[in-house]
Structure 1
Amino acid sequence: MFVSVTAFFFSLAFLGLFLSGMVTQIETNWNFLDFAYHFVVFVFYFGASLLEAAATALHDLHCNVSRTEQPLLNEHQYSINVAATIFAFMTTACYGCSLGLALRRWRP
């Protein structure tokens, strides 16, 4: 959740800079900043998706709760984790494509 909320706020900040016209007033390499932003977000999303997949893979792990063995995740929690894992990897792939396009813009 931290990764997606942080990426959302930084995306809004970039959008605000472009819509307000501040881009023409600030002397910097915007193509490099775009590439660096997408690289950082891609790495964070990739790590988050791996952690989500690892948490989902622990579905069959049993833990002793008051002398009864119960699965770590019930079926409903498991279904939610599977969906979260799929969407996390889809978002990672989208940011990976965006990273590739940013690299093309930065390096002609």
Structure 2
Amino acid sequence: MFVSVTAFFFSLLFLGLFLSGMVTQIDANWNFLDFAYHFTVFVFYFGAFLLEAAATSLHDLHCNVTLTVQPLLSDNQYNINVAATIFAFVTTVCYGCSLGLALRRWRP
């Protein structure tokens, strides 16, 4: 959740800068900043994807709770984790493509 909210906030910030025309007033290498942003978000989403996939793989792990063996994740939690893993993977792929395009703009 932290990764998606942070990426959304910074995306809105970049969009606001571009729509307001402030990019012409600020002397910066915007192609590099775009590349750095996409690289950072790609790394964070890739980490979130790996953590979510690892948590989902624990579905078959059982733990002892008051002398009864219960699965670590209920079926509902497992389904939610599968959906979150798929979303994180798709978002990681999308940011990876954006990273490739940003690298291509930055290094012609």
Q: TM-score range, shorter-chain basis?
A: over 0.9
Runs of 5+ consecutive residues of structure 1 not aligned to the other structure: none
Matches of 1:50 and 1:80 in 2, distance apart?
15
3-state SS of paired residue (1:70): strand
Q: Structure 1 segments of 4 or more deviating over 3 A?
A: none
Name structure 2 gaps, 5 residues minimum: none
Correspondence 1:17-96 to 2 at 5 A: 17-96=17-96
Q: Under a length normalisation based on structure 2, what TM-score does the superposition of the two structures give? A: 0.99
Q: Across the two proteins, how many residue pairs are aligned to each other?
A: 108
Q: Structure 1 residue 77: deviation in Å?
A: 0.9
Cα RMSD after superposing both structures: 0.5
TM-score using structure 1 length: 0.99
1:67, CA displacement in angstroms? 1.2
What per-residue deviation string (whole Å, max 9, x for no partner) do you get for residues 37-90 of structure 1?
000000000000000000000001111111111000111111111111011000
Specify the code of the residue in structure 1 equivalent to 2:61: L
Identity of aligned residues (%): 86
Q: Which residue does 2:2 correspond to in 1? A: 2
